[in-house]
């Protein structure tokens, strides 16, 4: 059986002993978890290279990772929410509790408005990512085929935002795998105009593993230097040999075994009580982690104990990710890999390119209740529609009995942004237009509560709400772009340069987790988005008052800023908002008070349908009126 031990480093009152509703004071526990798993057990066999890791005297493979637990002190919690940290960062404090960025800088576990804890959720954040450069991480074992460190190829994607002689090739973090030899003649650098373009091999003599420092080019295993320079917006794909392969998939086992240990409270858990219900939450990268977890059928541990009753996979689209192959990089920036391969949807469907029939839940004999929630941006990325359509584009897929699918109309990946800006402060990435302002956090909060009620058998969740082929609300991206160009005269995107998922050739050993890079993109899968109405807002999915009673146009796409190159390609993670002018607002709504009344009616309709919680009604009204005032001032131009 799985061996697990919690090593507590710190244990203290949470939030200075503040009481959260009926559940009173909480405690804050930090520490490490030591895991040991049987590599030959059927529950662990999906993990690539686990059988090649060094073994303890009892034959198990050991690894360890960080954890954070926040739980009630004096009474059991209603349920446990297991957070899958995004690149080491604990997201529920911002996603559910709405803790302010400044507060999170001072304390990454700042309570915000206490939503989770008032609702009776305990929270466990579990380190799973072996190369997380901050926050919670995992020390993964290493694969040693033949008793020696594994050697093989790594792939990295780089798209610089400026003309430059050199660039780091870390994937949203530090470089995970150092090159085995900086002078390796077999290392390759490919150039593409965009992700759909052909790979053009740059001669090895024209580039180096190096950076510029004090006017000199110096060797460096974390950067590439191109003699003729790197062009803004151009896509560079680097393939090179490295040595030493962590068993990346042990991160998935860490999530499973931490969940089951906390559920059963069998002596290993630091808590005095267990849980009837355990749910997992992941967003973006970690939403894809949870999709991969389900795909591998990992929801029961070596004892047969269930890990998760509910899974909320937020803004993951139709992808999995780099979480279970040799030399996988969990923070990969989109280089083709096994996590972008079929299947995409819960129910089984036929791959039009191979004839294979498969579904995301096939390996789960008793899948948890699952919510797939996506913003418009994941549709425009080219893969979210694959969660609910036939991969050949023939029609809508029936819903699996254990899933719901929700599209958040007119939203983008990173939630609404005010004050108005066209720049992400952490990355410096810019869009041509000011970023989308729609706050979709009320929908995420309601989704968690609805998921818990469903898993408890207390209530069915609201029906799925996504654009569909059957009613004509799911269309080609070019159709929508043409509407924007003809109606508003905006500079938009070039559909031919937009990404999406393809049938891939990753080499003959890809099924065993050993891939050939770069992966070859073959025929594309459908890349569809929600249609828009006369006001150019999306007509399908869950429509917040910003979209159903609009003061502007809100999209899930935004061209890259011309100063950063490739201005007909999409800016990463970003949509835009473009407000109506004062005259258009007066024609539509008359007065601000009349507008407020329509917003409140729209908010009440969402609450009655179950898509928004009663406690967030005032926030919806306040958000809409704030954006009305922005539009009235004309700060963002007019539509």
Tell me, yes or no, whether 121 and 83 share the same domain.
yes
Band of the pLDDT at 481, cuts 50, 70, 90?
A: very high
Q: Is residue 463 part of a domain?
A: no
Q: Is residue 50 part of a domain?
A: yes
Whether 234 and 264 map to the same domain: the answer is no
Q: List the CATH number of the domain containing 31.
A: 3.40.50
In a domain, 305, yes or no: yes
336-358 average pLDDT score:
96
In a domain, 134, yes or no: yes
Q: Tell me which of 455, 487, 507 is where a domain ends.
A: 455
| 3-state SS assignment for residue 630 | helix
Please give the C-alpha separations between residue 260 and each of 3, 5, 303, 306, in angstroms, as whole numbers.
11, 12, 9, 7
Average pLDDT of the chain to the nearest whole number: 96
Which residues have C-beta within 8 Å of that of residue 420, sequence separation ≥ 6?
434, 435, 437, 630, 635, 636
Instruction: From 444, 413, 446, 448, select the one nearest 431 (Cα to Cα).
Output: 413
CATH number of the domain encompassing residue 163 = 2.60.40
In a domain, 176, yes or no: yes
Same domain, 237 and 253: no
Pick from 425, 443, 433: which is nearest to 375 by CA?
443
Domain boundary among 223, 243, 263: 243
Do both 329 and 438 map to the same domain? yes
Rounded Cα distance, 65 and 63, in Å = 7
Domain range for 161: 151-243
pLDDT given for residue 638 in this prediction: 45
pLDDT tens, position by position, 226-274: 999 999 999 999 999 999 999 999 999 999 999 999 999 988 899 999 9
**Same domain membership, residue 437 and residue 302:** yes
Residue 636's pLDDT is what? 55
Residue 184's pLDDT band (boundaries 50, 70, 90)? very high
Domain boundary residue, one of 213, 243, 273: 243
135 within some domain? yes
609: in domain: no
Q: Average pLDDT, stretch 559-580?
A: 97
The string of pLDDT tens digits covering residues 417-445 is: 899 999 998 788 999 999 999 999 999 99
In a domain, 484, yes or no: no
Encode pLDDT of 318-340 as tens digits. 999 999 999 999 999 889 999 99
Nearest Cα neighbor of 281 from 291, 269, 272 is 291
Structural domain count of the chain: 2
- Same domain membership, residue 35 and residue 183: no
Q: Residues 254, 238: one domain?
A: no
Q: In the chain, count of helices (H) and strands (E)?
A: 12, 29
Instruction: Give backbone dihedrals phi and psi of 529, rounded to 5 degrees, phi first.
Output: -135, 170
- Encoded tokens for 570: 């999409």
Q: What is the SS3 assignment for 169?
A: coil
CA distance 463 to 399: 10
Residues 263 and 206 in one domain: no
| pLDDT for res 426 | 78
By DSSP bridging, strand 369-375 and strand 403-408 are: parallel
Is the same domain home to 292 and 409?
yes
Query: Beta strands 278-283 and 79-83: pairing type?
Result: parallel
Same domain assignment for residues 256 and 394:
yes
Are residues 215 and 252 located together in one domain of the fold?
no
**CA torsion, ordered 324, 325, 329, 333, to nearest 10 deg:** -90
Task: Say whether both 303 and 181 belong to one domain.
Answer: no
Predicted confidence (pLDDT) at residue 635 exceeds the cutoff of 90: no
């Amino acid at each position: 059986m799985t061996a697990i031990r919690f090593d507590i480093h710190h244990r203290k009152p949470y939030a200075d002993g503040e009481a959260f509703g009926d559940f009173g004071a909480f405690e804050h526990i930090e520490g490490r978890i030591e895991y040991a798993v049987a590599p030959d057990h059927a529950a662990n066999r999906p993990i690539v290279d686990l059988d090649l890791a060094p073994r303890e005297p009892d034959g198990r493979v050991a690894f360890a990772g960080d954890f954070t637990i926040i739980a009630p002190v004096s009474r059991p919690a209603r349920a446990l929410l297991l957070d899958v940290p995004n690149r080491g960062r604990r997201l529920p404090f911002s996603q559910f509790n709405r803790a302010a960025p400044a507060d999170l800088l001072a304390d990454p576990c700042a309570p915000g408005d206490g939503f989770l804890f008032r609702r009776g959720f305990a929270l466990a954040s579990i380190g799973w990512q072996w190369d997380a450069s901050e926050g919670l991480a995992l020390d993964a074992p290493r694969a040693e085929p033949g008793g020696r460190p594994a050697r093989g190829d790594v792939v990295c994607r780089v798209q610089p935002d400026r003309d430059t002689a050199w660039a780091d090739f870390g994937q949203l973090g530090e470089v995970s795998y150092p090159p085995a030899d900086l002078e390796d003649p077999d290392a390759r650098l490919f150039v593409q105009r965009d992700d759909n373009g052909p790979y053009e091999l740059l001669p090895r003599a024209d580039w180096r593993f190096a950076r510029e420092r004090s006017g000199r080019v110096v060797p460096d295993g974390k950067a590439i230097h191109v003699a003729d320079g790197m062009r803004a917006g151009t896509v560079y794909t680097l393939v090179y040999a490295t040595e030493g392969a962590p068993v990346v998939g042990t991160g998935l086992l860490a999530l499973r075994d931490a969940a089951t240990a906390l559920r059963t409270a069998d002596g290993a858990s630091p808590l005095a009580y267990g849980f009837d219900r355990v749910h997992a939450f992941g967003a973006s990268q970690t939403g894809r982690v949870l999709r991969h977890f389900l795909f591998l059928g990992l929801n029961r541990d070596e004892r047969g104990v269930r890990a998760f009753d509910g899974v909320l996979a937020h803004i993951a689209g139709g992808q999995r990710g780099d979480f279970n192959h040799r030399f996988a990089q969990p923070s990969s920036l989109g280089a083709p890999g096994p996590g972008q391969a079929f299947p995409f949807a819960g129910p089984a469907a036929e791959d039009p390119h191979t004839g294979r029939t498969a579904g995301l839940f096939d390996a789960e004999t008793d899948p948890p209740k699952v919510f797939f929630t996506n913003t418009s941006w994941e549709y425009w990325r080219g893969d979210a529609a694959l969660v609910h359509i036939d991969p050949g584009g023939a029609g809508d897929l029936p819903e699996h009995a254990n899933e719901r699918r929700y599209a958040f109309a007119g939203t983008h990946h990173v939630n609404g942004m005010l004050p108005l800006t066209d720049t992400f402060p952490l990355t410096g990435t810019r869009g041509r237009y000011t970023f989308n302002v729609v706050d979709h956090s009320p929908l995420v909060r309601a989704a968690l509560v609805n998921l818990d009620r469903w898993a408890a058998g207390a209530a069915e969740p609201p029906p799925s709400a996504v654009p569909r082929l059957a009613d004509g609300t799911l269309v080609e991206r070019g159709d929508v772009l043409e509407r924007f160009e003809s109606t508003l005269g905006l500079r938009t995107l070039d559909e031919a340069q937009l990404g999406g998922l393809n049938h891939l050739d990753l080499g003959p050993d890809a099924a065993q987790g050993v891939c050939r890079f770069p992966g070859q993109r073959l025929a594309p899968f459908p890349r569809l988005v929600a249609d828009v109405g006369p006001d150019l807002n999306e007509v399908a999915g869950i429509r917040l008052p910003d979209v159903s009673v609009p003061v502007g146009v809100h999209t899930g796409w935004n061209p890259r800023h011309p100063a950063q190159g490739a201005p007909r390609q999409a800016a990463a993670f970003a949509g835009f908002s473009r407000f109506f002018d004062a005259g258009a607002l007066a024609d539509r709504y008359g007065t601000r008070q009349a507008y407020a009344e329509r917003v409140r009616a729209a908010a009440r309709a969402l609450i009655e349908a179950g898509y928004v919680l009663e406690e967030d009604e005032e926030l919806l009204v306040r958000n809409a009126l704030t954006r009305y005032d922005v539009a009235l001032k004309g700060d963002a131009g007019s539509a």
